[in-house]
Amino acid sequence: MTGGGSGLGRAICRRLAERGDHVVVADRDAPAAAATADDIVGGGGSAEPLVLDVVDTAAVEAAIAEVDARRPLGTVVNNAGIAATTPLLTTGIEEVDRIFAVNVRGAYVVLRAAARRMVPRGSGSIVNICSTSSFTASSSPMVAYDTSKAALRMMTAAAARELAPTGVRVNGVAPGTMDTPLMRGLLGEAGTAALSGSRIPAGRLGTTDEVAHAVAFLSSADASYVVGHVLVVDGGWLT
């Protein structure tokens, strides 16, 4: 589980642990990864932290190989991602490169490394955390982010098509506006309230647990015939 130290990632880790998975909480923030793992263990679950930056290709490949050697991978969740609300005309190319390095290249490296271990066994589930921005442009100026998430959505479909005959399933979850510290930091309290009332038919922000349940379903045997699907969890935003 990449990006498991906070927000959506932490909620997904907790949910997978609740169903009995041993969760490897990967995050570049060591204290955050440890806090999530400790929280799971304290609640009776099984987890371990892993300090990992998905931008470091060699580190990702080595980490996945080592984890899989100890406990064969059953589910891998590509959750690490970054965003920025910078207008197109003033966005530095370094910022664009960083967003794509994490959201697209990092996700690709994790997916490829996981698939290399899963394919020989003929089983496994990979879930990519996309976004409603995979389908439509954000209200805020986020061209680089939106484009990266659209790329992740297509990566999900293309990888699913290629890997399905091997028994490895690839799917995605597309959260809408979730009630996380990151989102409240981007929007502010007034912006969050206005958005909830004007754009989201459900009239509220989504919870991280609601996304976690979607991930748990897609990675479970209950979704054994679900392949290449991106499940939208957005309170009706895309309508």
36 vs 27: CA distance, rounded Å: 10
CB atoms within 10 A of CB 203: 10
> What residues are annotated to the active site?
145
Phi-psi region of 122 (alpha: psi -120 to 50; beta: other; left: phi over 0): left
Nearest of 215, 228, 199 to residue 136 by alpha carbon: 199
Task: Say if CB 89 and CB 38 are below 8 A apart.
Answer: no
Q: Which residues contact 130 (CB under 8 A, 6 or more apart)?
A: 149, 152, 153, 156, 172, 173, 174, 230
124 vs 168: CA distance, rounded Å: 5
Q: Which residues contact 13 (CB under 8 A, 6 or more apart)?
A: 1, 4, 23, 25, 36, 37, 40, 47
192 vs 177: CA distance, rounded Å: 9
Task: Say if CB 74 and CB 124 are below 8 A apart.
Answer: yes
36 vs 10: CA distance, rounded Å: 6
Task: Say if CB 155 and CB 104 are below 8 A apart.
Answer: yes
